[in-house]
Amino acid sequence: MRWRVTVIVRLREGLNDPEGRVIGNALRNLGYAVENLRVPKCFEFELESENPEEEVREMCRKLLANPLIHDYEYRIEPVN
């Protein structure tokens, strides 16, 4: 079966996000009242699998996220 997968990877709470800090500062300089801006990574792909949950978790553990510094969440939907 074919699945559409979205994986969001974020730095763990309390870790420095330099890219988010720069973008947040730029937005504040433009007059927007933003605070604590963070920049997650989003991976979107299609997967042919009989066990997508297990494969996506494995992908996250092996490559997409570093468990020491990242949290991740994913969504798996069937492709019609």
pLDDT (tens digit per residue) in 13-71 = 999 999 999 999 999 999 999 999 999 999 999 999 999 999 999 999 999 999 999 99
28: Cβ contacts below 8 Å, ≥ 6 apart: 34
What is the Cα gyration radius of the chain?
A: 16
DSSP track, the chain: -EEEEEEEEEEPTTS--HHHHHHHHHHHHTT----S----EEEEEEEE-S-HHHHHHHHIIIII--TTTEEEEEEEEE--
At the second CATH level, the architecture of 2-78 is 2-Layer Sandwich (3.30)
**What is the pLDDT, as a whole number, of residue 80?**
81
Predicted structure pTM score: 0.89
Domain residue spans in the chain?
2-78
| Residue 14: Cβ within 10 Å count | 5
